[in-house]
Structure 1
Amino acid sequence: MKRNILNSALLGVALLTLFSCRPKKEIVKAPEAAKDVAVADKKSDNFAMLRSRDLTFNTLSLKGKAQLNVDGQENGVTLNVRIKKDEKIWFNITALGGAFEVVRGIITPDSLLLMNRQQRTVLRKPFSYLYDYTNKQVNFGWLQSILTGNTFKEFMVEKSSLKLENGVWMLNGTEQSLAYSVLFNTLLKPSELHLNDAAEAQALQVNYDKYTPINNELFPLDLKINSAVSNKKINIAVEFVKTDVNVGVEFPFTVPKGFEVIR
Structure 2
Amino acid sequence: MVLLASCGSSKKLGDKTADRGSKVPQQAIQPEDYYKQILLYKSFFGKANMQITTPKMSQKVIANIKMNHLKNIWSSVSAMGGIVEVARAYITPDSLKALLPMSRDAYALSFQEGLSLIQAELEFVSLQNLFLGNPLITGKSNAKASETDSTTIQVQVEQDGYILTVKYDKETQLIREQLITHTGKQFSCRIQQGNYKPLSDKQPFAFARTIEIDNNGEQTLVSLDFTRADIDIPAEVSFRIPDSYTLQTIKK
Pairwise TM-score range, normalised by the shorter structure: 0.7 to 0.9
Q: What's the CA shift for 1:79?
A: 0.6
Which has the larger displacement, 112-121 or 124-133?
124-133
Structure 2 Cα separation of the partners of residues 250 and 170 of structure 1: 37
Report the residue type matching 1:38 in the other structure: A
Q: Normalized per residue, which structure has more helix?
A: 1
TM-score (norm 1): 0.77
- Where do 4+ consecutive residues of structure 1 move more than 4 Å? 152-155, 173-177
Gaps of 5+ in 1: 1-10, 17-35
Which residue matches 1:91? 75
Of 229, 234, 246, 1:248 maps to: 234
Q: Is the 8 A contact 2:44 2:67 kept in 1?
A: yes
SS of the aligned residue for 1:150 comes to coil
Q: Is the 8 A contact 2:95 2:114 kept in 1?
A: no
Structure 2 Cα separation of the partners of residues 187 and 82 of structure 1: 28
Structure 2 Cα separation of the partners of residues 84 and 39 of structure 1: 31
RMSD between aligned residues: 2.2
Structure 2 Cα separation of the partners of residues 153 and 227 of structure 1: 16
Which residue matches 2:147? 164
Structure 1 Cα separation of the partners of residues 246 and 39 of structure 2: 39
Which residue matches 1:193? 178
User: Which one scores higher on RCO, CA 8 angstroms, separation ≥ 6?
Assistant: 1
Which residue matches 1:122? 106
Which has the larger displacement, 207-216 or 193-202?
193-202
% identity of equivalent residues: 17
C-alpha change, 1:169 and 1:131, in structure 2 (3 Å) is same
TM-score (norm 2): 0.80
Which has the larger displacement, 101-110 or 168-177?
168-177
Aligned residues: 224
Which has the larger displacement, 99-108 or 148-157?
148-157
Which has the larger displacement, 171-180 or 222-231?
171-180
Which residue matches 2:220? 234
SS of the aligned residue for 2:125 comes to helix
